[in-house]
Amino acid sequence: MTSAQFYLYGVDETGPETLSPAQLQQIDAADLVIADSRFHAALSDCEALQDWPKPFSQLAEMLTNYRGSSVVMLATGDPLWYGAGRYLLRHFGREQLHIEPGVSGLQFAAARMGWPLESVQIISLHGRPESLLSRSLYPRARLMIIPQSAETARTVARRLCAAGWGAADITALSSLGHETETRLSASAEQWDRLDEAPADFHILCVDLSPAGRAGQIAPSSCLPDEAFITDGKMTKFEARSAALSRLMPHPGGVLIDLGCGTGSVSIEWLRFCADGAAYAVDTKQERLDLAVQNADQTGVRGLTALHRECYDALETLPEPDAIFIGGGLSAELILAAKKKLPVGGRLVAHAVTLQSEALLLAAHQQDGGMLVRIQVNYAQPVGEYHGWRGLMPVTQYIWHKGGDA
């Protein structure tokens, strides 16, 4: 791939007609042109014309056969905004690519709706679980959704109704920027009654304002315990919230979750880490299976479940930004976790038994850090009255790796 030249041009729904003379000249000289089939008629004079591969993941392998050749790819809109550009950069690097964006469907949709783009939440359901939608539902939210197919509008409407947002306005904008542009509008609860459906490629615009505050609101903090499938062994809400505040998730962040149980800490990390990753390690496969189910139903991406001993897994996993130890504590594991972290990395460990607490006390005495006791009590009925009933206290150990560690 040292001499290959890949040109990635963005076009709108009018297709190649909007390309510049220089771009058209590059197409004429190309050894391969890749474009969606709906643009092929406008490129009928091009002999080296192919559709995008299916599945899309085969593209990198296809392009390796064109080393030293000129390849032009036509993508819709801006290839680096929920487009093919990210995939190609990951496989071939910036030096191999020449990217020129076009006006995206999202930009057209914002103009049609009169919505400033900075006030809109953009969600891609293309190749992603529809459960992602639940993370973006709150009063007055404006959503722009990139669909999987024409059926996405119907399933989104049903999900909105199920979550109590049936009065939300839905607008499906198809063929944006083309003379055949169409618009379908209805409330979520009325969408199934429409006689028409949008095109496979459309932008779905959802305005939750008409629904007031009637629906379920996506938590901006940790999820309630009831959101997880569990065998009873999990880091509970208050302790989980305390752990996340100390782990400090951030976009692109990498977490190693040792003794992950049913994955609640990993999933919370991914909810707050756009493009993040969480490696959930446990010795019980049945708990890992529940962790995967929990990731699916909460709509997070980036979870890798590993059925291994925690100590052994550390050696082969990538460099993390943070490590959480929720089970399987040992002095050796704490030491290995500290060694694994880069400078600036964070370690958080929880203990509920006296034996595990003793390990955290020893780690604190040896390397410093912070110890916190988390004690939670709930008011519960005691006959005709109420009294406080406590959960088992949790000892939390927090350690940040400095340059001299």
What would the DSSP string read from start to end of 159-179?
HHHHTT-TT-EEEEEESTTST
Is residue 330 pLDDT above 60, yes or no?
yes
Domain assignment of residue 60, given as a range: 5-103
132 close to 299: Cβ distance less than 8 angstroms: yes
Is residue 1 pLDDT above 50, yes or no?
no
Is residue 404 pLDDT above 70, yes or no?
no
Choose one of 188, 211, 234: the last residue of a domain.
Answer: 211
CATH of the domain at 142: 3.30.950.10
Does 169 fall in a domain?
yes
Same domain, 157 and 239: no
Over residues 100-122, the pLDDT tens digits come to 999 999 999 999 999 999 999 99
Does 217 fall in a domain?
no
Choose one of 68, 84, 103: the last residue of a domain.
Answer: 103
Query: What Rg value do the Cα atoms of the chain yield, rounded?
Result: 26
DSSP code of residue 231: S
Same domain, 206 and 229: no
Q: Residue 217: which residues within 8 A CB-CB, separation 6 or more?
A: 137, 138, 139
Residue range 376-389: mean pLDDT, rounded: 95
Does 98 fall in a domain?
yes
Does 353 fall in a domain?
yes
Over residues 73-84, the pLDDT tens digits come to 999 889 998 889
- Report the C-alpha gap between 217 and 125 in whole angstroms: 20
The three-class DSSP label of residue 391 is coil
Same domain, 253 and 364: yes
The three-class DSSP label of residue 183 is strand
Over residues 23-79, the pLDDT tens digits come to 999 999 999 999 988 899 889 888 889 999 988 889 998 998 887 889 999 998 899
Question: In this structure, are strands 254-258 and 322-325 parallel, antiparallel, or unpaired?
Answer: parallel
Same domain, 288 and 170: no
Over residues 264-309, the pLDDT tens digits come to 999 999 999 988 999 999 999 999 999 999 998 888 889 999 999 9
Question: Which tokens go with 137?
Answer: 């539902």
- Report the C-alpha gap between 25 and 14 in whole angstroms: 18
Does 218 fall in a domain?
no
CATH of the domain at 41: 3.40.1010.10
Same domain, 24 and 142: no
Q: How confident is the model at residue 378 (pLDDT cuts 50, 70, 90)?
A: very high
Choose one of 46, 80, 103: the last residue of a domain.
Answer: 103
Over residues 183-223, the pLDDT tens digits come to 999 999 999 999 889 988 899 999 999 999 888 887 778 98
- Report the C-alpha gap between 113 and 120 in whole angstroms: 11
Same domain, 96 and 167: no
**Strands across the sheet containing 322-325:** 303-307, 277-282, 254-258, 322-325, 346-351, 394-400, 370-374
Over residues 229-255, the pLDDT tens digits come to 998 878 899 999 999 999 999 999 999
Is residue 405 pLDDT above 70, yes or no?
no
Over residues 127-183, the pLDDT tens digits come to 888 888 888 899 999 999 999 999 999 999 999 999 999 999 999 999 998 888 999
Q: Is the pTM of this model over 0.85?
A: no
Does 219 fall in a domain?
no
Rounded percentage of the chain residues whose pLDDT exceeds 70: 98
With b for 16 or more beta-carbon neighbours within 10 A and e for fewer, the 89-103 pattern comes to: bebbeeebbebbbbb
Query: Considering its fold, how many domains does the chain have in total?
Result: 3
Q: Degrees (nearest 5) of the Cα angle 239, 242, 243? A: 85
CATH of the domain at 248: 3.40.50.150
